[in-house]
Amino acid sequence: MRIGEVAEQAGVSVRALRYYEEQRLLPADRSAGGQRHYPDSAVERVRLIQQLYAAGLASTTVRQVLPCVDSGEEPPALLDRLVTERALIEQKITDLLTARDRLDDVIGVARNPDPDCTHGQ
């Protein structure tokens, strides 16, 4: 398949496919004229890469995960890294919820100021 076909079927830009190739996530063969050619499996591979990125994984982690998907093996070090990534996401969620709650408090005070408060007057 040519790059435009893969991009269209996978729902990504040609630029994204070039980036995936640069990051060694999506291999491509080259024709004598330098055009990229992908196997039919490239569309599913791109969709998987998109899912891994949507899960918040960096390219380096995605590059480690893909061979495991291909082989079906789960190296303990990689599994540990994914668990760590999940814990980081969980902490970000907690931090965002705390920030949201504080902002709700500020909004509440702004909507219903204490009549005895002279701050800002």
Domain ranges of the chain: 1-72, 74-121
Question: Measuring CA to CA, which residue among 58, 66, 108 is closest to residue 84?
Answer: 58
Can you tell me the distance from the alpha carbon of 87 to that of 96, in angstroms, rounded to the nearest whole number?
14
Question: Measuring CA to CA, which residue among 69, 66, 76 is closest to residue 26?
Answer: 66
Half-sphere exposure of 117 (CA within 13 A, CB side): 7
* pLDDT tens-place string over residues 43-74: 999 999 999 999 989 898 999 899 888 888 88
pLDDT of residue 119: 62
pTM over 0.85: no
Other CB atoms within 10 Å distance of the CB of residue 20:
23
Q: Please give the CATH number for the structural domain made up of 1-72.
A: 1.10.1660.10
Q: Residue 17: pLDDT band by 50, 70, 90 thresholds?
A: very high
